[in-house]
């Protein structure tokens, strides 16, 4: 496989057509080696438009390239930003954000994935990401507030505790709702107790571990 050609095709055929047009994001995708963050057994799938399995559990996946790219674009990161990444997985999303932000704290509930992500990031020369074995559903209050928070998987709804860990002007990007139609949700903290929210595109993704499912019963 010609990896550079496969990477070019991924960007031009999957990512650009999905309204990812930020030149900084596109440039990052051309230089951060996605294939180095994919399990060896699935490396042939590194540039395919699909979620890539990372572990035995169905929810342990590396999200499709176009989804990760568009989430990164929605975050609009700056070099001074402090980022919270929930659901480290292979570490690829953290690596992308690390190139745009000052620091990334990445939380992962699966110990094996923590270890693998740390190795992947070290090999990639990424030094401003801390990977921590933790339940991401409560965020990291002691380490906040954050300028950006990303959830690399879906949740029924965004917990208020995560929104409260945003700085004013901070952005949170998550995939919310229920199958068959979930939506990307972008929340911006506009003031001390005020937030604005948008749902700019549709996208299904496996559930993140540890997040509560609201009761379907209503009175």
Q: What is the pLDDT of residues 75-120, one digit of tens each?
A: 999 999 999 999 999 999 999 999 999 999 999 999 999 999 999 9
CATH number belonging to the domain at 3-202, selected among 3.40.50.12780, 3.40.50.150, 3.40.30.10, 3.30.420.40: 3.40.50.150
Strands 61-62 and 82-86: unpaired
- Total-model pTM: 0.95
Nearby residues of 168 by Cβ (< 8 Å), 6 or more positions away: 189, 190, 191, 192
Q: Which pLDDT belongs to residue 68?
A: 98
Query: For all residues of the chain together, what is the average pLDDT?
Result: 94
Q: Which pLDDT belongs to residue 155?
A: 96
């Amino acid at each position: 496989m010609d990896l550079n050609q496969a990477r070019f095709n991924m960007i031009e055929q999957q990512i650009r057509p999905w309204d990812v047009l930020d030149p900084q994001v596109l440039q990052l995708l051309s230089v951060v080696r996605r294939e180095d963050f994919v399990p060896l057994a699935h490396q042939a799938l590194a540039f395919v438009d699909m979620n890539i399995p990372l572990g035995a559990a169905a929810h342990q996946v590396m999200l499709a390239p176009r989804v990760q790219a568009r989430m990164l674009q929605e975050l609009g990161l700056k070099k001074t930003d402090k980022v919270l990444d929930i659901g480290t997985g292979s570490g690829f999303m953290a690596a992308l954000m690390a190139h745009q932000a000052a620091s990334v704290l990445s939380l992962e509930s699966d110990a094996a994935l923590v270890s693998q992500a740390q190795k992947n990031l070290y090999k990639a020369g990424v030094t401003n990401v801390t990977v921590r074995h933790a339940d991401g559903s409560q965020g990291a209050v002691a380490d906040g507030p954050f300028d950006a928070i990303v959830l690399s998987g879906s949740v029924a709804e965004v917990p208020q505790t995560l929104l409260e860990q945003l700085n004013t002007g901070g952005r949170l990007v998550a995939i919310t709702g229920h199958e068959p139609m979930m939506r990307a949700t972008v929340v911006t903290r506009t003031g001390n107790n005020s937030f604005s929210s948008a749902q700019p595109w549709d996208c299904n993704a496996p559930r993140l571990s540890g997040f509560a499912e609201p009761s379907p019963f209503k009175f």
